[in-house]
């Protein structure tokens, strides 16, 4: 009985020490570089398609040629926490360790889309930054 309890305790400690960390991020936006590349096509994508894909723009303006320009900006905070602990036992002696950490990253994505006179994408640029 004691042997089974000891085996279970060691197994539980090993499994606890092997726990992996996972980022904790809320679902924020469909505005990612991958989605931009998949959903925007110069000469094909309309303003309606853009609205369905990314929602309303943050800023709308008119450029020097009189064409409409939409700007999207998304900000996200990505938090990740981790912890691990281990416990080992040698006859009549024991020891343990524990470690934890927390990391937070700010991400910004900017997308600028230019439309022609017919409301079709004529050009777009996207940029992201992490800090």
For 58-68, what is each residue's pLDDT tens digit?
A: 999 999 999 99
**Total domains present in the chain:** 1
Give CA–CA dist 98/48, Å, rounded. Answer: 53
Residue that has been written with the tokens 């991020």 in this structure: 25
Question: 70 and 59 in contact (C-beta within 8 Å)?
Answer: yes
DSSP summary character for residue 58: S
Domain around 36? 2-130
User: Each residue of 58-98: pLDDT tens digit?
Assistant: 999 999 999 999 999 998 777 777 665 555 555 555 555 55
Output the average pLDDT for the chain.
77
Alpha-carbon Rg of the chain, whole angstroms? Answer: 26
Q: Which two tokens stand for residue 15?
A: 């499994």
Above 80 in pLDDT, residue 5? Answer: no
How much is the pTM? 0.59
Q: Give the model's confidence band at 6: pLDDT under 50 very low, under 70 low, under 90 confident, else very high.
A: low
Mean pLDDT on 1-9: 59
Which residues, in sequence order, are CB contacts of 66 under 8 Å at separation 6+? none
The per-residue pLDDT for 25 is: 34
Q: Give the model's confidence band at 21: pLDDT under 50 very low, under 70 low, under 90 confident, else very high.
A: very low
Q: Give the model's confidence band at 1: pLDDT under 50 very low, under 70 low, under 90 confident, else very high.
A: low
What does DSSP say about strands 23-24 and 59-62: parallel, antiparallel, or unpaired? unpaired
The percent of residues in the chain predicted with pLDDT above 90, rounded, is 44
């Amino acid at each position: 009985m004691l042997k089974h309890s000891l085996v279970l305790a060691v197994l539980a400690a090993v499994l606890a020490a092997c726990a992996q960390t996972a980022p904790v991020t809320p679902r924020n936006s469909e505005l990612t570089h991958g989605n931009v590349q998949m959903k925007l096509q110069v000469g094909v994508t309309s303003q309606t398609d853009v609205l369905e894909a990314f929602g309303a723009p943050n800023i709308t303006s008119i450029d020097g040629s009189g064409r409409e320009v939409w700007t999207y900006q998304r900000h996200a905070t990505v938090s990740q926490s981790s912890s691990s602990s281990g416990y080992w036992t040698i006859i009549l002696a024991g020891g343990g360790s524990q470690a934890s950490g927390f990391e937070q990253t700010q991400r910004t994505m900017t997308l600028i889309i230019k439309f022609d006179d017919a409301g079709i994408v004529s050009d777009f640029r996207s940029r992201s930054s992490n800090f």
